[in-house]
């Protein structure tokens, strides 16, 4: 977009702060967007290094909190493709997250039952984690195809129930297939990017042993998460501006109308499902490398609801909005951790607070804190404005002609 878009006389007036910021941003030339965006990203990336006293966490290392936020932001972006942009209610997204994490753990953990030795070929050594990431994305995408092909023919509550069951099935399989996943004992010593090795950090800067100082492992994982988030945002942004993105919006607004207008709805719904699954697999791979331990307890349905909460709170369909939602659900519990009420930490009430927040949001602002612009409505308003202006522009000529 360029400055001409902001001067469009048929463009709708900004509504709310989010819409005003988006209109201002879209009105900037591409060069100015980079000049504003790059310093903003650098400032955000330096937050856990500077540790601003107002926002830094006290009970938990701020770098680790921000690393968790970056990973959750990836999940929220992937879930937003399915729920926010295409309108498919997915309650079992944690299943894709688990598949990605287990792919990395099974390939690199010495405790993996798939290997009889510590030598895993290309999946052992300093670049093992990096070699596993594309594998995790592909396998999770294939999982999305297997799940989506039969289930995307149903809609609404039926689809929600099926995906909810998928998430639970993945967790139960991980818990019970002990010969494959090591069961409830989990997989330890999952490999991670072994870069930046020196005398102070013999295992590299991404190792959990690098847990002291300003540039601890949390900060490095946070920076890696920011890079991945930017790459995913660029890919998703390009898709949004293409036929694929317009088809997703059409399906979300009215699937029957989209079908009548010639949009192959099943095809594009499957695209959204697979792309969302791939991003979920990527975030699972990041989780496995960061925590270096994977077990079924990390992939419960309550976590799936928390991811969905990030999308709903931030604003379905808005990429930056869901990132803000991910920040809220990660940062707020960490910020109040250590504050006790009635002998319990305030962070233990996070599910109660987020539940209340969702209820309040559904009553007063159902579109979320930073809602996406309803593109079809926007296009409709522009057409209406253009049609309305056309007679006004031709009226003087008509009067002159009659005179």
Both tokens of residue 247? 């088809």
Both tokens of residue 290? 């960061």
| Spatial contact of 228 and 220, defined as CB atoms under 8 Å apart | no
What is the rounded distance in angstroms from the CA atom of residue 18 to the CA atom of residue 372?
9
What is the rounded distance in angstroms from the CA atom of residue 315 to the CA atom of residue 174?
32
- Break the chain down into helix, strand, coil percent, rounded to 5: 70, 0, 30
pLDDT of residue 391: 58
Between CA 166 and CA 259, with CA 87 as vertex, the angle to 5 degrees is 110
pLDDT of residue 58: 81
What is the rounded distance in angstroms from the CA atom of residue 359 to the CA atom of residue 323?
20
What is the rounded distance in angstroms from the CA atom of residue 219 to the CA atom of residue 223?
6
What is the rounded distance in angstroms from the CA atom of residue 233 to the CA atom of residue 74?
9
Burial class (CB in 10 A: 0-12, 13-18, 19+), 212: exposed
3 state SS of 345: strand
| Spatial contact of 216 and 63, defined as CB atoms under 8 Å apart | yes
Q: What does each C-alpha distance from 30 to 5, 34, 37, 207, 232 come to in angstroms?
A: 12, 6, 10, 38, 19
Give me the sign of the Cα torsion angle 181, 186, 191, 193.
positive
pLDDT of residue 403: 38
Please provide residue 287's backbone torsions phi and psi, each rounded to the nearest 5 degrees.
Answer: -60, -45
Whole-model pTM? Answer: 0.85
| Spatial contact of 70 and 225, defined as CB atoms under 8 Å apart | yes
Instruction: Give the distance, in angstroms, between the CA of residue 119 and the centroid of all CA atoms in the same chain.
Output: 34
Residue ranges in the chain whose pLDDT is less than 50: 1-6, 397-403
Placement of tokens 């192959």 in the chain: 264
> What residue spans of 189-318 are helical by DSSP H?
217-240, 243-253, 255-260, 265-291, 301-314
Instruction: Give the distance, in angstroms, between the CA of residue 186 and the centroid of all CA atoms in the same chain.
Output: 25
Both tokens of residue 126? 């300093």
Cα–Cα nearest to 221, from 50, 54, 55, 74: 74
Pairing of strands 340-341, 344-345: antiparallel
């Amino acid at each position: 977009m360029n400055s001409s878009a902001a001067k469009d006389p048929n463009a709708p007036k900004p509504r709310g702060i989010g819409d005003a910021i988006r209109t201002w941003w879209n009105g900037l030339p591409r060069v100015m967007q980079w000049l504003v965006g790059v310093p903003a990203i650098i400032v955000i990336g330096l937050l856990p290094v500077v540790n601003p006293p107002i926002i830094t966490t006290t009970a938990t290392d701020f770098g680790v909190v921000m690393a968790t936020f970056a990973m959750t932001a990836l999940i929220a972006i992937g879930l937003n493709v399915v729920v926010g942009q295409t309108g498919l209610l997915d309650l079992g997204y944690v299943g894709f997250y688990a598949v990605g994490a287990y792919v990395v753990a099974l390939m690199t953990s010495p405790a993996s039952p798939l290997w009889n030795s510590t030598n895993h070929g290309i999946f052992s050594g300093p670049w093992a984690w990096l070699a596993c990431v594309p594998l995790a994305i592909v396998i999770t995408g294939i999982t999305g195809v297997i799940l989506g092909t039969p289930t995307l023919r149903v809609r609404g509550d039926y689809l929600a129930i099926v995906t909810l069951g998928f998430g639970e099935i993945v967790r139960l399989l991980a818990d019970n297939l002990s010969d494959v996943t090591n069961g409830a004992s989990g997989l330890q010593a999952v490999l991670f990017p072994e870069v930046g090795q020196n005398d102070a950090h013999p295992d590299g800067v991404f190792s959990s042993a690098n847990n002291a100082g300003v540039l601890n492992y949390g900060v490095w994982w946070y920076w890696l998460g920011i890079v991945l988030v930017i790459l995913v945002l660029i890919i998703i942004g390009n898709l949004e501006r293409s036929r694929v993105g317009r088809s997703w919006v059409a399906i979300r607004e009215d699937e029957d109308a989209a079908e009548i207008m010639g949009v192959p709805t099943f095809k594009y719904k499957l695209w959204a499902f697979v792309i969302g699954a791939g991003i979920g697999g990527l975030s699972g791979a990041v989780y496995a490398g960061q925590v270096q331990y994977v077990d079924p307890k990390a992939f419960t349905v309550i976590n799936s609801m928390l991811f969905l909460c990030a999308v709903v709170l931030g604003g379905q369909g808005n990429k930056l909005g869901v990132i803000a939602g991910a920040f809220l659900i990660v940062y707020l519990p960490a910020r109040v951790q250590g504050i006790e009420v009635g002998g319990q930490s305030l962070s233990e009430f996070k599910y109660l607070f987020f539940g209340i927040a969702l209820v309040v949001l559904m009553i007063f602002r159902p579109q979320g804190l930073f809602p996406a612009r309803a593109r079809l409505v926007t296009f409709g308003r522009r057409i209406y404005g253009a049609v309305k202006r056309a007679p006004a522009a031709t009226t003087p000529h008509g009067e002159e002609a009659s005179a």
